Amino acid sequence: MATKGKLAKVVELVYWKNMGKTGVVFTGLVVGLASLFQLSALTVLSYLGLGILCVTFPLRFYYKLLELLRWNPEKEQPFQTYLDEDSSLTNEDTVVLVEKAVLLIAFALTELKRLLFIGSITDSVKFAVLLYLLSHVGILTNGLTLVIAGVICLFSFPLLYKKQQGRIKRLVRAVKGFLRRIKNMFKRMYRKIRPVSVPAPDSDPAPALAPVPAPAPKPKSK
């Protein structure tokens, strides 16, 4: 499917399979997002389009000149591969994407309704704590900074994991072991301090057994 092919291309970019292409995409994203601090999004998109045209127009004219001078008999422009690439979606892909988007929106609305109207006290308390922390994060920084940090982490963590895979696995195992020991310690403390249940006395105690009389002594034979 076309969707899986595009997802595979994104994975290749994130994991730096093609260093040159990933470097161009990563640099372009960071520079474009950083430009939004000084310029509007419309201005940045316009300058981005103009910058691409400043590269593609001279190359296209150069190949057209070679074609007119008969130095390029194949008559192919340098961007023919991008033009021939099929970026359209089939009817099945469109239906699948729309269904996924609708299900995601419905799930998000259901969760928000459950959290805001206290469907679960524990989850609503966690949601309130998260909103409180986000309010402080919003005071210290803005959403654009978080997006730039997210892009940098997206392109940095896979490469870091690829290079330091053994150390990261050992660190994860150590953290899991530490958390497991803390959890077991709290369980032992809870077992020690929890009250011991005492069985309730019976309402009708069993009657005491009557003493068994001692057997009579046998007469002595003469």
Alpha helices (H) along 141-203: 143-163, 165-193
Most confidently predicted of 22-36, 108-122, 142-156, 158-172:
108-122
Q: Which two tokens stand for residue 184?
A: 């077991």
Q: Report how far apart, in Å, the C-alpha atoms of 149 and of each of 20, 138, 146 are.
A: 21, 14, 5
Q: Within its chain, how far is the Cα of 122 from the centroid?
A: 22
For 135-165, write each residue's pLDDT tens digit.
888 888 887 888 888 888 888 888 888 888 8
Does this model's pTM top 0.85? My answer is no
Residue with tokens 């000149």: 65
Please, are residues 74 and 66 in contact by the beta-carbon 8 Å criterion? no
Please classify residue 42 by burial: count the beta carbons closer than 10 Å to its beta carbon, then call 0-12 exposed, 13-18 middle and 19+ buried: exposed
Q: CA dihedral defined by 177, 180, 184, 190, rounded to 10 degrees?
A: 150
Please, are residues 107 and 14 in contact by the beta-carbon 8 Å criterion? no
Identity of the amino acid at 214: A
For 119-137, write each residue's pLDDT tens digit.
888 889 999 999 999 888 8
